[in-house]
Amino acid sequence: MEQRIVDAIRELEQLDEQTNAPEPLYRISADNGQFLNLLVRVSGAKRVLEIGSSSGYSGLYLGEAARANGGTVTTCELSEYKIQLAKSVYEKAGLSNTISIVEGDALETLKTLQGPWDFVFIDAWKEDYPAYLHLVWPHVKQGGVVVADDIISAGDSPGIKRYLEDVRAKADARTVTVPVDDGVEFTTKL
Ligand SMILES: C[S@@+](CC[C@H](N)C(=O)[O-])C[C@H]1O[C@@H](n2cnc3c(N)ncnc32)[C@H](O)[C@@H]1O
């Protein structure tokens, strides 16, 4: 990975350790980041959507891979603090031409975004996961991928339970839980 992307990743890891940050970052782990980066690379995804940018940490892994594929990342966030933080992080990493932030409530902004999506990463509040699946699935291309985070760590939450029921009930999906870090649900559209 390019040094300035590695530096941006390290900077956010250090910020995450500070107890006086204005808002918790709730970032994925470095292992999960590497996993997402590899998934985007091997799938050749060019149109990547992320729901829940936070500080931009996961976006760095997604953006590096999407750019290698000649693609872009669209990422949704509603916290003003995190939007500004992510923007500066993408800039420092040299990824601001690759990653664009859609500001506002993703439950609304997603209705305005054009698919098709090759790759979708869902990592916002867990109770909204079923709604996100409902909103994005029609816009996921055939052979496209949806990855949802915290499937094991938040497995008791009603949102995650419902998400798993819904995704497993889809006739046009194949899906599996992968125990990387907090656990991700990896789904492809048939
Ligand atoms: C778990 S954090 C995302 C972490 C990020 N993917 C990472 O690993 O760096 C969830 C983020 O989703 C955002 N979020 C929650 N609900 C949202 C909504 N309805 N629209 C947009 N962003 C939302 C929160 O503000 C928070 O920053």
Percentage of the chain exceeding pLDDT 90: 95
149-177 pLDDT, tens digit each: 999 999 999 999 999 999 999 999 999 99
| Ligand 1 pocket test target in 51, 87, 180 with most atoms within 8 Å of CB | 51
Instruction: Tokens 């816009």: give the residue.
Output: 139
First to last CA, the chain: 32
24-51 pLDDT, tens digit each: 999 999 999 999 999 999 999 999 999 9
What structural domains and CATH numbers belong to the chain?
3-189 (3.40.50.150)
Distance of CA 143 from the midpoint of ligand 1 (Å): 26
Q: Which residues fall within 8 angstroms of residue 54, CB to CB, at 6 or more apart?
A: 25, 26, 27, 77, 79, 82, 86, 123
Determine the atom of ligand 1 nearest the C-alpha atom of 121.
6
Distance of CA 77 from the midpoint of ligand 1 (Å): 6
Distance of CA 106 from the midpoint of ligand 1 (Å): 9
Instruction: Tokens 């829940």: give the residue.
Output: 52
Q: Would the pLDDT of 21 be above 90?
A: no
Distance of CA 125 from the midpoint of ligand 1 (Å): 7
Residue 99 has which token pair? 């990653």
Nearest alpha carbon to residue 150 among 138, 164, 140: 164
pLDDT band of residue 20 (cuts 50, 70, 90) is: confident
| Separation between Cα atoms, residue 33 and residue 58, nearest integer Å | 6
Cis peptide before 116 (omega within 30 of 0): yes
**123: Cβ below 6 Å to ligand 1?**
yes
> Per-residue pLDDT averaged across 80-93, rounded?
98
pLDDT band of residue 128 (cuts 50, 70, 90) is: very high
